[in-house]
Amino acid sequence: MTATLNNPSTAALIEAGSPEHSQMKISKAIYWIEGLFCGNCAAALEYKIAAVKMVDSVSVNFTYSYMIIDYIGDVTALDIIEKTVENLGYKVTNASLDVRQQQLVQQKKQAYSTLFFAFIFSMWSMLSAIVTYLHEPDELSQQVLNLLNIFSGIFSIPVVFSAGFHFHKMAWYALKSLLFNIDLLISTSALLAFFVSCYFLWWQMDIVYFDTACMLILLHLFGRSLDLNTKAKAMECLKEEIELSQSSTVLYENSAAQLKKIAINTISVGDVLVLHLGEVVPIDCELLSEFSLCDISITTGESAPVQYVKHSELAAGFVNLGQTIRVRAKCATGQSNTDYQLTTILMNKAKQISNSTKINKLSSLLSQLIFFSALTAGIYVFAVYSDLQLAFERMLCVLVIACPCSLTIAAPLASLILNQQSIKKKLVINNYAAFAEGRNLSAFYFDKTGTLTQGRPTLMTIQLVNTDWSLEQVLQHAYQCVYYSNHIYSDLIRQHIAENILPERKLGSYNEVLGYGVQWTNDDASLNVALGSKKWFVEQKIIINTNEEHTASYLVINNELVAIFKFEDSVKTSAKPTIDYLAAQIPYIAMLSGDNQATCQQVAQQLGLNSENIFSAMSPEQKQNQITLRQQNQQVVGFIGDGLNDNLALMQADIGVAAKSANALTKMSATVCLLSNDLTTLKTLLPLAKLYHKLMKYNLVYAVVYNMIAIPVAIFGNISPLIAISAMVASSFSVSINSYFFSKKMDKL
């Protein structure tokens, strides 16, 4: 994926911070990065790209392997940026999301194949070495020792130079760029072990370290496989999230008024499209039909359907709730407001990840410190020992034991454990670093429509206004009106009637006034029944002396109000127990909604929320500002929502939660996505975040403490490379065991 926005007309490259800089247009570009395998690499890449003269800012998202760049200049600037990325050993790709996902799946398969390949050859190389280690030097003849060492060396060649090729390549690029990272340490240690062993083998010395080189490569390949597995799953979630609807085609009307299906991604400006009941508006459009009824809750949070007239603009994501309509595309696919929001969300997602990767930056710093410490210590021990073989052995022990294998797998393993456990708890984590902040939540906001409520109207009550008519008579007459109507309220009334009486279809004339209601008259015109909005009847001078807080349809018989059908977006049964639980854990619970005050207060009363904590009729920007005010008081804020109007609030919140009913873009804005409509899923959020933070912290502590102890032991202790590599394995094993125990704790939540 490569996208460029707001390309400037000038190609001048201006120094950042200069007076000319403020007058220049800043363009944005989005790149997929191929070969980005660790958080340390992402931090290093971000550092190097930020140093490029025409780059204003850069954010690298390691989880999804893409980069957002604000740059000054034309395509020439992009060429320079791409060249800088390639000089670091990575590739930028223009692949679509589908292709990128396929690439990641293929890379994961390749990583497992390489791991298996390395394991097979390492096993034979180490088997020969083990035979040597198990015997005293005088128990085996020199000829047998030489054969075993040669055998070990031959089987180590594919591991060191084929399976470990990526480490050597990235080490070379790191060295050229003066970036001293873990790849450089792994490559240096493995190559040193191999070539020193070749030297010892040439002079027929007893001990060689081919097995040490194999073990180094093998363990780090294992850590990389875990990392790729996590990234592939993250990309799969991203792909699923940006599917705005299940439909990929739409009906297109050509100049001859003929209809045919076309792919949504081929829509052009001016195309006339035909949308049936229940279909989603695929692009920003102009309404050509006289009338349309749409569900716009995806963008505003309003639960009630909204009526539109001819030439009105329908935004991408609206759902047609009425009869078949004709619309004209106002933009091409990829250029709608919804697509713009997608790009905005990707950019914010990258910045969120970039700003919260303290662990990756710490890990990168520790890796460089360990590298310099190990290299310095290795040179020191090589210099102080007079015996060449012993000097090489000491130096190799230091480099091997200093290899931060446990540091390499600490973060990926913790993320993998969280990923597995969160799925069990019906959660999907988009941002692991931000999720850990959930342990400190001090305020939590709920959206109303679709989050606390069902997100669709239900028929709550039928109020009889005129007692001359019985309930059954009212239902029979209403049935005549709704029989042919496709309106959502007509569907609800029809369903209620079918469940409560045996409706009888009567002869008569039927008329639907789009946007107002339906009318039925019997054959002799003695009975005129109308069902519709208050506005319609007021225009006809029919007296409606009620002020309903609910959304309502009015039944009028012979110009007299007879009954009121009241609709309400009902509260989810899981909402109150969830709020009660969170209120006991978090000091401040509130509601942010775009719906009207009366409806919000009614829902709040059912849920036991303080009326002072209810914020109604709020725009997306107002929701965002409300969260910002809390954050300015050093509070960690959570928010859960499901509509496009919730995107800004979700991105602003420290912990943004997307409800299951959320649309694709909303899910992409969130830190966490719910896989269940049951809000009690939120009860596991706080304890899971606390355990994940502890797991990450303990894993890093184990890894760092190991290196602090191991390097002095390797310098001053009389240990062999076999013991050194065993210690390295033990440190990785301790991290794995710690992760396993935390996984069991998470199981109990």
**Span 385-442, pLDDT tens digits:** 667 777 777 777 777 776 666 766 677 778 778 877 888 888 888 787 788 888 999 9
Is the C-alpha dihedral spanning 530, 532, 538, 543 positive or negative? positive
Q: For residues 111-138, give the mean pLDDT.
A: 83
* Nearest C-alpha neighbor of 214 from the set 142, 141, 151, 302: 151
Average pLDDT over residues 463-479: 91
Convert the pLDDT of each residue in 514-533 to its tens digit.
668 899 999 888 899 999 98
Cα separation, 674 vs 425, whole angstroms: 9
Residue 455's nearest CA partner among 503, 488, 490 is: 488
Q: Which CATH number fits domain 458-568: 3.40.1110.10, 3.60.150.10, 3.30.420.40, 3.40.50.360?
A: 3.40.1110.10
Residue 257 or 245, more confident: 257
Kindly list the distances between the CA atom of residue 291 and the CA atoms of 225, 356, 483, 485, 552, in Å, as whole numbers in the listed order. 56, 48, 20, 14, 20
The sheet that has 306-309: what strands, in order across it? Answer: 306-309, 291-295, 319-320
DSSP string, 637-690: EEEEE-SGGGHHHHHHSSEEEE-TT--HHHHHH-SEEESSS-GGGGGGHHHHHH
Specify the CATH superfamily of domain 427-454+571-677. Answer: HAD superfamily/HAD-like (3.40.50.1000)
Counting DSSP H helices and E strands in the chain, the numbers are 24, 27
- Residue tagged 């009847």 (tokens): 537
Residue range 30-55: mean pLDDT, rounded: 77
pLDDT at 248: 54
User: In the predicted model, what is the mean pLDDT of the chain?
Assistant: 79
The structural domains of the chain, with segments of one domain joined by +, span: 3-95, 249-341, 427-454+571-677, 458-568
> Any idea what DSSP says for residue 452?
I
Judged on CB neighbours under 10 Å (0-12, 13-18, 19+), 478 is: buried
pLDDT band at 23 (very low <50, low <70, confident <90, very high): very low
Q: What is the identity of the amino acid at 346?
A: L
Query: 3-95, which class in CATH?
Result: alpha beta
627 or 366: which leads in pLDDT:
627
Token pair of 429 as six digits: 């984590």
Percent of the residues in the chain that have a pLDDT greater than 70, as a whole number: 81
- With H, G, I as helix, E, B as strand and everything else as coil, classify residue 122: helix
> Sorting pLDDT into bands at 50, 70 and 90, what band is 295?
confident
Residue 344: Cβ-neighbour burial (10 angstroms; 0-12, 13-18, 19+): middle
Give the pLDDT confidence of 191-219 residue by residue, as tens digits. Answer: 988 998 898 888 877 778 888 889 889 88
**Which of 232, 211, 115, 201 is closest to 163 using CA atoms?**
115
List the structure tokens of 614. 């209810």
Q: Categorise residue 121: left if φ over 0, alpha if ψ from -120 to 50, beta otherwise.
A: alpha
The model's pLDDT over 214-255, given as tens digits with 9 standing for 90+, comes to 988 988 888 778 777 766 766 665 555 455 433 455 677 776
Packing angle, helices 142-157 and 210-241, rounded to 10: 20
User: Looking at 58-67, 274-283, 472-481, 727-736, which range is the least confident one?
Assistant: 58-67
Q: Which residue has the higher pLDDT, 496 or 549?
A: 496
| Neighbouring C-beta atoms of residue 23, cutoff 10 Å | 8
| CATH annotation of 249-341 | 2.70.150.10
Q: What is the pLDDT of residues 361-394, one digit of tens each?
A: 566 566 666 667 767 776 776 777 667 777 777 7
- As a whole number of angstroms, the distance between CA 393 and CA 387 comes to 10
